[in-house]
Each structure stands twice: as structure tokens, then as C-alpha cells.
Structure 1
Amino acid sequence: MRFLAAFLALPLLAQVDTGAISGTVSDASGAVIPNVQVTVTHLDTNIKTALSTNASGFFAAPSLKVGRYTVGATAEGFRPEMRTSIDLHVQERLEINFTLQVGSSASEVTVTAAAPLLESETSSLGQVMEQKTITDLPLNGRNFIQLATLTAGTLPSSRTAERDNFIANGARAIQNSYLLDGVENKNRILGFDKGVAQIVQPVIDAIQEFKVQTSTFSAEFGQAAGGVVNVTLRSGTNQIHGSAFEFFRNSKLDALPYFQPAAGGRPAFLQNQFGATLGGPVRKSQTFFFASWQTSREVNAAPQIGSVPLQPVRDGNFGATRMYDPATVRTNPAGAGFVRDLFPNNIVPASRWDPVSVKFAALFP
């Protein structure tokens, strides 16, 4: 006997990496109009979201993918109205209101929307970095998080081993939260390499946009006491699109490093970062794909500064530094604890050196 089990998952309306469009539909006298058919259309994918106004004339379309939209309102006895060129960004809540005019449905009113000067639907403080900003501004190593410091209230972080973080409103860099398409991307939580703040480092050509929120963000970002970096990746559209890139650095274009001997010339440094992106439809207006790839090649012969033991130390002579013989550790006859003897003249005899350490010491310049 075989059993078939079906599980239903109810969608959650938290808008981590999406936006929302809402508004009110009224007539010329200001009276609200219920049961108005409102259609929200994503222009790149032609995906439509259909809804109706309630008894108060209000409509809301949550969890919309970022991008450019048109919003249309249609009601019996009124001329249809269309709002075009509406740019929706990550975590943005736009208010688009309609005032329908009495008339025939054969004619339509089209209004080109402008970005609102004030976002009245949320009190969150932050800044959106769009795709053009991400790809056009110079970034050392193509690390997009360097742009986070363009947000008000942020500073570069210099007292941490992580290479891709920042300080928001005086909080520690470790208190920031990093999201990638709505999924937690913070390295410290999962205990991986502490040299980077993010688990997945997205290719900047694959980033649609990202938003840095620094204050009064909603409860869905409860893990963050500092800033929130919310990254949204690009999606395929109804048109096939792609790109290829290479960024090249050559030491012949660099100045002579300060610690490099003048007779040695410029040390060799060659860096190539290259990759490609490709996106398009699997089934138009329904299913899409997008892929990105990047790799790096580097040859680096830059001078390095380090401390090496002097010859007396390599011979076992530590001078004024007190060196105790671990083989002489014994119980303190005068009381609690242990005592041990110094090596004569603080010189460790060669017979006491570990064979591996002897070979290792010979490698020092």
C-alpha cells in the first residue's frame, strides 16, 4: 500500500528583499471607490499582480520584486488610469493613489509617475545603491560593501580582521546583519572563516541593488544592532541579456613601493578579475534564469615586512630574556606551587632543540 502526502505552505508576507505598492482610489469629489480592479505589472518579466480595492478604496500589493512597474486602475463607469515608470527599490513601500474620472472605458488616462520626495509609508533610515552605482564606481577588488560607507552614519571599520564590513551609528561591525535575497548571509553566526563578514560574496555584476539601513528598521531585522545590508540579485527577464568583463591591474602603472629597494625596480603585480553574466526566459512571463561567474588570477611579488630572529637567538642565546629549563620543574619545597631553574646564561644548548625547529630556523633569511 502506498500513501501520498501533500503539504501546503502558506506564504509569509515579510518584505525582506522586496518592496510594496499601495494606495487609495477615489473619484473627482474625493469619495473612495470600492471594488476597483488594480493591476500591478513588472515590466521586465510581464508578471502581473491583480487585486481589488476594499470598502475603503484601499489596495496593497506586498512582496513585489524590485524593478520598474506599471499600475493600472479600472472601474465600471470611470475612465481607466495607468501609472507608468514606477521604480520600486528593495524595502521600499510606495504610495500610488488614483483619482478616477467619470467617463467611458474606451479612453484611458496615462500618467508617468515620478519618485516621491518623501517616503511616508515607513520610518526606516537608509540608502539604496542601484546597479549603475555598483558597476560604475571604482571598487578595489570589486567588493560592493565598500559602497556601504556612502550611507549617512557609516564609517569604514579598521579594528577588525574582516575585510568587508563597516561601522553604522557607532555600533560594532560584528553587530551588522547581511542578507542575500532575504537569506541571512552573516559569517559570524555560522562560524566560518572570520576573515570575511559574508558567507557568499556575490559578483557585483549580478547585484540588482542593495540597501543599507542604519536606524529604525522593522522587527524582521531583529538580529541586527548595527546596520542591515540587504542585497537583491538580478533576475532573468523576457529578453536574453548578458555581459562579459575583465579588470586588469599591472605593476608597470604603479609607483615604487616605499620599502622596495630602488635598485630592485618595481615588484611584479598582475591581477586579472574576469567573468560573465547571462539571463533570460525559460518560459516567457513565467519562469526565468540568471547566472553569474567570476574568477581571479594574481601574481604578487610585493615586498613584505616581517620580524626574523637574529643569529644569537638562532644559536640559542636569548641574552637578557630569562629562559627556564622545563625539564627542571619540581614541587616548591618552600610552599605551594612549582619551581624551575634557568638555563645557564639564558643559553639553550643545541642538544635541547627540537629537530624540526632546527630545520625551520635555517630557513630564516
Structure 2
Amino acid sequence: MILLLVAVNAAAQTGQGSLRGYVKDEQGGAVPGATITATSAALIQPATAVTDSEGYYRLINLPPGTYSIAAELTGFASYKREEILLRAGATFQVDVTMKIGTLQETVTVSGDSPMLEVSKPSNVLNISGEFQRDMPIQARRNWSDFLEITPGVHSRPFDDGSGRMVYFGHSTEHFAHVIQLEGAIASNYQDAQVTYVAMGADMIDDVQVKTGGVDASAPMGVGLNINVITKSGGNQFKGSAAFAYQSKDMNGDNVKNCSPSPGCNPSASPGVGTPTTALVKQFDGGLGGPIKRDRVWFFGSLRRADLESGISRTAEEVGRLKTFFPDVTLFNNTTKSWQPYGKVTAKLTPSHELAAFVQQDRLLATGDREYHYSRAVMYSTGGGLYGGKLTSVWGQKITTTLLAAYNNKGGSNASTYEGFPGAGPTITIHNAANLQGGRLVGTGRLVSGGNFDDGTGSAGQAAISYLPSSQVTLRADLTYFKDGWAGSHEFQTGFFGSPRSTYDTETIYLNDGFILEERRKVDPA
């Protein structure tokens, strides 16, 4: 549990942004009492504020989107500023200059102008969902692909042969990140690496990643701090659908650039290896709109991923498999998942907004290696995230955000191993054997299989593990604005609690405990 009092923007942790600034006349004098109104397709109802005695206004708890700002006061011409792009968790200053005139007159300011963060110093990168959908970086179109172009982040392929990536930031372990969805913890409590969180690109509105200068209101973590803000729908029905397909023939290779020697061109060799390939069949769809216009919106999306990754085997490795097991059928690694998301947002009053959301990202995958003659490594990640968030504005000085979420994302369970009929002990054939501690121990593994493997590369682990986990998150943020102390000030206090954070490991040994049979090649002569 964390209780904090800080002078930074706590609303950024739940994805809300703000627009603020001074309203002045043409001589530079403050204009108190002006009504400032923000409109956007991202808002269920317009947001309003009134300038104080110094002409200062604040429009707070705003979702990411494109905004127009209007200022009105009797005796002045109306002012309008358009095309203000507000990102998740950002605070932009938009000053207004009003001219003497009537309300029927309007001064419109348009055109692109840079917006600078004014509330906090930090290393922050925002990636819009539209950018991710229009410019897929990798064939699988994972939501986390943007980390490939994030400064200060480096990556490597995941070692399960799935084609997914592992990301590192701040020179920390890949499971040390904080991953949030709408401010709720979205990662697996057992293992919080990015690749274990899955979602379709259609649900993403904006993603904020902090690589440095993380403020005190963020959940604690030594790696990256990521918050995904999702779509909410709108007053108009809008949907999209896409299907990504990549066959084996769409995978390139360097064979044609290779020398004519058999060792370089495997197709010219007596034995043929199997290359690393990516086979993709993936559907994405989303639909949003009004349940009640100007009051209640909905948004839902679905990703169905059916992916394969070819296991890289040299011609020699294929030859070993077929020598010891002539009937072997070479296979690829697979990744299959359904990833639905749903969200309902209601404007309870002009000052109070309630959002409820549910996300599922359960994934079934295999991670076999080049020496497996049968499927031996399978695992699951993900689960459900259920959350609710209430954002409120109390007059001109106080804002609050309350959030509660339950997360049961974990590892493998009984369903993970359905359809994989391992039988008998794990059989591992070695190139040689020697006596160690009174027993023969094989060295130089050639092939392995016959039952489940723990995937660590250690032979003979014919056991499976159930890895359930769950986490409850409660958080509250309060911001108080104070004028008159030689300027304008903001004070934030917050509460973060996780009354339940558990994960378990249950190991089940197969074949009544007879888990290993080792064999060594012998000279038939």
C-alpha cells in the first residue's frame, strides 16, 4: 500500500490529460469570468471551466483526442481554437487572447502548432493506436511492436521459438515492467513481461510509455512504465475489421544470394532442413457507438490469432530425427488465442464519468526445439482483467479518480495440455555417456521427446506445472488546485493498494513418476 503527496500530475497514470492556460485581453490584462468550453468526438459531453481572478482556467480529466476550445464573455468577441491534439496523460497550455466585440463575432485560430508538456519533466513517448494500425512493424502486429522504435529500449526474440519479442529498459530484467490498461495493472502477477500481455490493435486509442523520470504516482517498477488507453465509442456508430494473412511462400530467404555449394544451399543437399518461417492468420475487428447519445457509449473489439512459427532445423538435425524415428512428422510451433475487449462509458452528471471494462488475452502456445521428435513444450499465458473507473470534478479546485480492478492472468492450467497425449517417460538420445555419481549421464543431446518437457532445455523433465495467479488493485488520486500563493499551485495525493497478489505453482509428475529414459548410441559392430 502506498500513500503519497506529490506535486506532479497524478491523472496521467489513468490516462487522463488536461488543457489549461491564461485568458487575457489585447493589452495583456487578465480576463476573469470567461467561460471556456472544450468539445471533441472523444467527449460524451463538452467540458467547461470558468477563468479565475487571474484569468486562469483548467480543463481536466480529458481523454486523448482532438479538441476545439471556445472562450466566451460578454463584451468580448467569441474565441475559438481548433485542432488541438491531446495525448494520453499529457498537460498542454493553451493561452487565449480575447478582443473587444460582441459574442456574435468569433475569432477563430486554426493550424498546427506544437503542444509542449508543461506539468512534469519526464521521458515520455506517446504512440497512437492509429499509428500502430497503419504502420505495422512486424507481421504479427502485436500491440507492443512500438517498443521496437522507442529510444532506450532494446529487444531480442523470445526463446520459445514463437517469434515474439522480449523488451528491456533501464538495463533491467524483461519482467520488471509496469503495464497498465486504463490505469489498472494488466500484466501477469507471476511474470510481468510485455510479451505476456496481448490485445488487438483495434481497441487502442493511445499508449504512453515512460522510460525515465517516472513520477511518484506511478506503480513501482524498475523497468518501463506503460499505460494503454482504450477507445470508448462515440455518438456515431463506427467499426473496422481487418484480416492479416501470411503464408509460407510469403517468407523470404537468402538462398538465391547463396553460393552454389551444397552446404550453403540446403535444397541442393541430400537432406533438407526446415527454415524459421512465420505463418499468420489473424482477424481484428472493433465496433463502437452510443447506447444513449450524449450519455452512454460502448466499444468492443476482438482479435483471433492463429499463428505458426517454423522451427529452424539444419539438414543434419532433420536427419537425426528421421534416423531414430523414421515415422516422425516435422511440425511448427503454434500460438492460438482469442482476445476480446469490452468497455462501457457513462456520463453520470456533467462532473462525474464512470467507465467499466473487461479484457481477455488467454493464449495457448508451443515452444518446441529442433531436437524434439514429438510435441513436448506447451504453455499458456494471460487471462482476464475486470475494472471500473470513476473520474470526478468537484468545482474548480478538486478532481478525483477512483479505480478498482481484478486480474486473474496467470500461466498454464489443465486446459493447456488438452490434446497433447504424452505417454511414457521422456526419451532422450545422447551422443555419448559417462559415469557420474554412480550413474550414467548422457551428454550431447541428439533428439528428445515422448512426453512433456519443461522447456528449459534440461532433459527428462516429464512434468507439468499449473501456475494460477491473481491480483486486486485499488487506487485513488486527488488533485487540489490553490491560487494566491504567489501563483497557481497543484497538490496531489494518492492511494495505491493491492490487497490480493498471489501466484501458485503445482507440479504434476507424469507416468507415475517414471519420467526419464536415457539412451546412448552404440556401434552395431
Equivalent in the alignment of 1:156:
155
For residue 159 of structure 1, report the CA deviation from its aligned partner: 8.7
With normalisation by structure 2, the TM-score equals 0.54
Equivalent in the alignment of 1:37:
35
| Distance in 2 between residues matched to 1:29 and 1:215, nearest whole Å | 41
| Unpaired runs of at least 5, structure 1 | 1-11, 326-353
Aligned partner (choices 15, 19, 25) of residue 12 of structure 2? 15
Find out whether 1:67 has 2:65 as its counterpart.
Answer: yes
| Distance in 1 between residues matched to 2:33 and 2:306, nearest whole Å | 60
- Stretch moving more, 31-40 or 110-119: 110-119
| Distance in 1 between residues matched to 2:203 and 2:289, nearest whole Å | 13
Matches of residues 1-365 of structure 1 in structure 2 within 5 Å?
14-16=11-13, 17-45=15-43, 47-112=45-110, 114-116=112-114, 118-138=116-136, 139-156=138-155, 165-187=166-188, 190-191=189-190, 194=191, 196-197=193-194, 200-255=197-252, 264=272, 270-298=279-307, 302=311, 303=313, 304-306=369-371, 309-310=428-429, 318=433, 320-324=434-438, 357=514
For residue 239 of structure 1, report the CA deviation from its aligned partner: 1.6
Pick closer, same or farther for the CA change 1:30–1:269 going to 2, 3 Å.
Answer: closer
| Unpaired runs of at least 5, structure 2 | 1-8, 256-263, 314-368, 373-426, 440-510
Q: Would you say the 8 A contact 1:251–1:266 is kept in 2? A: no
Pick closer, same or farther for the CA change 1:66–1:56 going to 2, 3 Å.
Answer: same
Q: Would you say the 8 A contact 1:13–1:62 is kept in 2? A: no
Pick closer, same or farther for the CA change 1:244–1:260 going to 2, 3 Å.
Answer: farther
SS in 2 for 1:149: helix
Q: Which has the higher contact order (CA 8 A, sep 6+)?
A: 2
SS in 2 for 1:29: coil
- Counterpart code for 2:28: G
For residue 309 of structure 1, report the CA deviation from its aligned partner: 3.7
SS in 1 for 2:438: coil
For residue 146 of structure 1, report the CA deviation from its aligned partner: 2.3
Q: CA RMSD in A?
A: 3.5
Structure ranking higher in strand proportion:
2
Q: Would you say the 8 A contact 2:93–2:116 is kept in 1? A: no
Q: Would you say the 8 A contact 2:158–2:166 is kept in 1? A: no
Equivalent in the alignment of 1:5:
none
User: How many residue pairs align between the two structures?
Assistant: 316
**1:131-173 residue CA offsets vs partner (Å, 9 max, x unmatched):** 2321122323221212123222221156988955522233333
**1:71-99 residue CA offsets vs partner (Å, 9 max, x unmatched):** 11111211110111111101111101111
**1:113-146 residue CA offsets vs partner (Å, 9 max, x unmatched):** 5342543332121211112321122323221212
- Counterpart code for 1:287: V
Pick closer, same or farther for the CA change 1:19–1:25 going to 2, 3 Å.
Answer: same
Structure ranking higher in helix proportion:
1
Pick closer, same or farther for the CA change 1:184–1:357 going to 2, 3 Å.
Answer: closer
- Stretch moving more, 92-101 or 172-181: 172-181
- Counterpart code for 1:201: A
| Distance in 1 between residues matched to 2:143 and 2:54, nearest whole Å | 43
Q: Would you say the 8 A contact 1:143–1:164 is kept in 2? A: no
For residue 276 of structure 1, report the CA deviation from its aligned partner: 1.3
Pick closer, same or farther for the CA change 1:225–1:213 going to 2, 3 Å.
Answer: same
Equivalent in the alignment of 2:487:
none
| Distance in 1 between residues matched to 2:278 and 2:155, nearest whole Å | 26
- Counterpart code for 2:202: D
For residue 45 of structure 1, report the CA deviation from its aligned partner: 4.4
Q: Would you say the 8 A contact 2:23–2:95 is kept in 1? A: yes
Equivalent in the alignment of 2:466:
none
- Counterpart code for 2:36: V
| Distance in 1 between residues matched to 2:134 and 2:175, nearest whole Å | 28
| Distance in 2 between residues matched to 1:72 and 1:312, nearest whole Å | 78
Equivalent in the alignment of 1:346:
none
- Counterpart code for 1:30: G
- Counterpart code for 1:237: G
State the identity as a percent.
21
| Distance in 2 between residues matched to 1:126 and 1:241, nearest whole Å | 30
Equivalent in the alignment of 2:454:
none
Q: Would you say the 8 A contact 1:252–1:266 is kept in 2? A: no
Equivalent in the alignment of 1:332:
none
| Distance in 1 between residues matched to 2:430 and 2:144, nearest whole Å | 45
| Distance in 2 between residues matched to 1:355 and 1:93, nearest whole Å | 62
For residue 238 of structure 1, report the CA deviation from its aligned partner: 1.6
- Counterpart code for 1:33: V
- Counterpart code for 1:292: S
Structure showing greater Rg: 1
Pick closer, same or farther for the CA change 1:216–1:359 going to 2, 3 Å.
Answer: closer
For residue 21 of structure 1, report the CA deviation from its aligned partner: 0.5
SS in 1 for 2:217: helix
**1:275-309 residue CA offsets vs partner (Å, 9 max, x unmatched):** 31111111112211111011122456644422774
For residue 68 of structure 1, report the CA deviation from its aligned partner: 0.9
Pick closer, same or farther for the CA change 1:197–1:253 going to 2, 3 Å.
Answer: closer
